[in-house]
A and B are shown apart, each in its own frame.
Chain A
């Protein structure tokens, strides 16, 4: 690692400053598991769109060239293994659906968005060693209401947006390695030393993401900077990683400890969530003692964090390594698990291989506030949705959505897109059901294991959830990274994007061993018709003349003569 002329400062005389901040958030979850969220944010005060930018320092060249060449305004790519259990773990800071998800806003100057999208998915497939090249028109949709830009935007023509999800995509070490390579310090210094593949993939949930967006350079917002955030969220399981004990430490989770900071980072902090639950006194004890304590209102709730500033000189005084340990002062009652205000689940109903039903249940557990939620469903074309069977029932009564955008699928060309704005009354469960028919595909269209089933990508719920405590306006540069990913318009609510479970649906299959047999038998039936009709059309009736008998008859007569029986 080259020691630069000071963290975050570019060479003399350059106006384009880039800055790296890294942060790790450890939050113990109500079920005894622990979630670790890494965020690495590189902010670069350069205009990637115009101007020939040739010197890349902290911002990775691969991504910078991509943004410039293809006219990308915002890019969000997430690769996830597992499912975030909102009901038990609480609202996630940033959730991603199982598999690969890619959504991109293009600049208005891009003329052929579909071509740019195809090129982009192929290039990203190469950069991240993921099969993103399977993104094509059969799994890409253009949402109209969800996925508004998270960065600066002037005008949002939704035809510049593309969204695709590959639920079958598996995440493994070969996706982690190129992701780590994009970090300025790699995995050699700073927080990234903790990212060891054998521990990270031995977890309940692993999600790595890349977010690129333009942001305001300063408060006056006269110039644009580009921000790259790389986030990695991992949830370590209480039973398998924690061996049944609720005490966690960095070494127990990652089998490494923090030894030094990344010299290129201007800020490097570890936050530990020590918020008291249910207004009790602190139950969680952290050691070594933190450098400071930070209080913030995150997702509508007051939270307390113990902060370890890796750049402060006092931290590495006593020992060369930092191993943050979390200990519970007394056993926690597991009966009082807080329920998140908004959570959802989805499942397939019905039986047999002909029809089925997709049921989504959305829970609003706020005691007195109602709020609307936008539901986006993308269903592949081979599950034929019948929108006249769409029913939304809340508290036993029908709930009509105030906005509904439905784009039916075209066979082998595009999937179904259903977007609805549904009002969720306070303290209610909303059930949304829609029926579908399963199609029989051509035998070459089935994956190698056809009886495994076909995946339906997660549906997306976007909502502004009313917060319990009013939030103050945050200054992006001063506050922790995990509070500033989603822009907040006012303090009374916070933005949440939730994903439901992906579904696995079986389709009827033809017999794959029989193409020749089927072709021959069907052609035989057609030939029977042709033959019968040919005979009847081209031949006429004649009186039969007695024939002398063919060879068979003469042979039979010879045998009969030997037997002594009269001839035929």
Chain B
């Protein structure tokens, strides 16, 4: 399996290198869908230039990266393109290894449940076989590396690639079962962009499952393990934040990075829902709606944890998607990360209801974004409502895609336990509804 992966990596690197040398690189770097105020490369360069001038990069409102990025790029600024290409490759390789391990876990669990007779007798066609699961890790790596969103993100040198890489390593560490590494990478991911905090729940559930600790609120071993994991996570977070303090000897980065993410002062258009909402908000309600929108990202965690406690990796996928859609400054790089997981659920294809329409919506909106931006900003023949409409449609497309996959997943689980051919009491074929 290594050879096809190497081939994919080579193709991806070639595509990126070719784009770096072409004239499209400057065009892509300026696109607001790819570069947001949080992760644009221009702002990283600006922050380093401010540091050279003797001014703290956090004294202005341009630079919102963590001190870790300053530290990293202080040394690597000349090799920036190489750094981003390597980051993408590392992410793909991490996802490949993670999904390979995950497949083994899925297969083992499936075997156990078949032996325990938990499945209905006629679900043979729903069971995943090693044959069809063989190529999934490669497909995941392919989906991530050759996704146009990822390629654009890499060519624009958006630091979203670094965030994705950290999350990918976190997923790898979790699936391999190492609680310490998982906590460290999760702390790093939270330190970088705050929202991966919600991935604590699926990681905990997965590790508990792997340790065969039952998830019951009364169980002592559950609380013990949770406390251990939480303390590992919090300690790594504190250590990383204190190291950042010592880099520039000030706590200025906390309001500049986390205050910025949470209070959304910069209304630069992006593919998310926040910018126009707060541009048109009545001043009186601004704080209220900021709080509502931020809570919206975090509050799906507990209900999802209750519903999906047996399937923590799917939970992680849904949580990643929710973060990508509702975070304050989303970019296409964030979307590329959760889309890389879609091949893992390819066995759900038969239960997806609207996949054709949704993929058309997503593809058309991706093409319309630059067109309507040009019409608004350069041609002057459209106004901001056009771009906003595409934002709305794109986000509805993403939301319906995720809920479609969720529906398909739950439906397959129902069929596995109740049988594929359902009959009503009188013997005729039955329909399945959500009630």
B403 / chain A contacts, CB cutoff of 8 Å: 529, 532-533, 536
CB distance from B318 to the nearest CB of A (A): 9
Q: Is B227 an interface residue, CB under 8 A from the partner?
A: no
B61 and A525 form a contact (CB under 8 A):
no
Q: How far is the CB of B419 from chain A (nearest CB, A)?
A: 11
- Nearest A residue to B61 via CB reads A411
- CB pair B61 A443 closer than 8 Å: no
CA of A384 to CA of B62 in the docked complex: distance in angstroms?
7
Question: Which B residues touch A529, using CB under 8 A?
Answer: 322, 325-326, 399, 403
A408 touches B434 (CB 8 A): no
Question: Which residues of B have CB within 8 Å of A510?
Answer: 276, 279-280, 384
Whether B399 and A525, one on each chain, are in contact in the complex, defined by CB atoms closer than 8 angstroms, is: yes
Does B376 lie at the interface of the complex (its beta carbon under 8 Å from any beta carbon of A)? yes
Other A-B contacts than A440-B275, A541-B434, 17 sampled, CB-CB below 8 A, are: A352-B377, A388-B48, A514-B280, A518-B276, A518-B279, A522-B392, A526-B296, A528-B399, A528-B400, A533-B304, A536-B307, A536-B410, A541-B410, A542-B433, A542-B434, A544-B430, A544-B433
B12 nearest CB across to chain A (Å): 30
CB distance from B416 to the nearest CB of A (A): 12
Chain A residues positioned under 8 Å from B349 (CB to CB) = none
CB distance from A436 to the nearest CB of B (A): 11
The count of residues in chain B whose C-beta lies closer than 8 Å to any C-beta of chain A is 67
**Chain A 377-389: CB-based contact to B (< 8 A → 1; otherwise 0):** 0000100101110
Q: Which residues of B contact A404 (CB under 8 A)?
A: 53
Q: Does B300 count as interface, using CB distance less than 8 angstroms?
A: yes
CB-CB < 8 A to B62: which residues of A? 384, 386, 408
Residues from 294 to 326 in B contacting A, C-beta threshold 8 Å = 296, 300, 303-304, 306-307, 322, 325-326
Q: Check if B281 sits within 8 Å of A515, measured CB to CB.
A: yes
Whether the pair A546, B424 counts as a contact (CB closer than 8 A) is yes
Q: What distance in Å separates the Cβ of A180 from its nearest Cβ neighbour in chain B?
A: 41
> How far apart sit A419 and B214, CA to CA, in the bound complex (Å)?
66
Within the complex, the shortest CB–CB distance from B351 to chain A, in Å, comes to 11
A407 with B61: CB separation less than 8 A: no
Contact B395 A525 (CB under 8 A): yes
Q: Say if the beta carbon of A509 comes within 8 Å of chain B.
A: yes
Give A530's nearest chain B residue, CB to CB.
Answer: B296
Chain B residues, CB < 8 A from A444: 283
Residues of chain A with a CB closer than 8 A to B50's CB? 387, 406, 408
Q: List 14 A-B contacts (CB under 8 A).
A: A386-B42, A386-B46, A388-B45, A409-B61, A439-B266, A440-B268, A511-B384, A511-B385, A518-B388, A529-B399, A542-B434, A542-B435, A543-B431, A544-B430
* B282 interfacial by beta-carbon distance below 8 Å: yes
**A439: which B residues are within 8 A, CB to CB?**
266-268
In the complex, the answer to whether A441 meets B433 with C-beta atoms within 8 Å is no
Residues of chain A at the chain B interface (Cβ within 8 Å): 351-355, 381, 384, 386-388, 404, 406-412, 439-444, 508-511, 514-515, 518-519, 521-522, 525-526, 528-530, 532-533, 535-537, 539-546
Q: How far is the CB of A295 from chain B (nearest CB, A)?
A: 48
Quick one: given A352-B378, A518-B388, are A407 and B55 in contact (CB under 8 Å)? yes
Chain B residues whose CB sits within 8 angstroms of the CB of A536 once the complex forms:
307, 403, 406-407, 410, 434
Chain B residues contacting A533 (CB-CB under 8 Å) are: 300, 303-304, 403, 406
Closest CB pairs A-B (n = 7): A408-B60, A388-B49, A532-B403, A352-B378, A518-B280, A544-B431, A539-B434
Chain B residues with a Cβ under 8 A of chain A = 30, 32, 42, 45-46, 48-50, 53, 55, 59-62, 265-269, 273, 275-283, 293, 296, 300, 303-304, 306-307, 322, 325-326, 376-378, 380, 383-385, 388, 392, 395-396, 399-400, 403, 406-407, 410-411, 414, 422, 424-425, 430-435
Residues of A close to B414: CB separation below 8 A:
540-541
Q: Is the CB of A443 within 8 A of B280?
A: yes
The reply to whether B59 and A522 form a contact with Cβ atoms under 8 Å apart is: no
Contact indicator B376/A442 (Cβ below 8 Å): no
Given the complex of chains A and B, what is the CA–CA distance between A515 and B49 in angstroms? 39
Name the A residues within 8 Å of B325 (CB-CB): 529
Q: Which residues of B contact A412 (CB under 8 A)?
A: 265
In the complex, which of the residues A386, A522, A541, A545 contacts B276, with contact meaning CB atoms closer than 8 Å?
A522
Shortest Cβ distance from residue B1 to the other chain A in the assembled complex, whole angstroms:
35
A542–B388 alpha-carbon span in the complex (Å): 39
**Residue from B265, B326, B411 within 8 A of A541 (CB atoms):** B411
Query: Judging by beta carbons under 8 Å apart, are A442 and B281 in contact?
Result: yes
Please tell me if the beta carbons of A442 and B46 are within 8 angstroms of each other in the complex.
Answer: no
Q: Which residues of A contact B425 (CB under 8 A)?
A: 545
Q: For the complex, what is the distance from the CA of A412 to the CA of B275, rounded to whole Å?
A: 17
Which residues from chain A contact B399 at a C-beta distance below 8 Å? 525, 528-529, 532
**Pair B279/A442 contact, Cβ less than 8 Å:** yes
B residues near A388, Cβ cutoff 8 Å:
45-46, 48-49
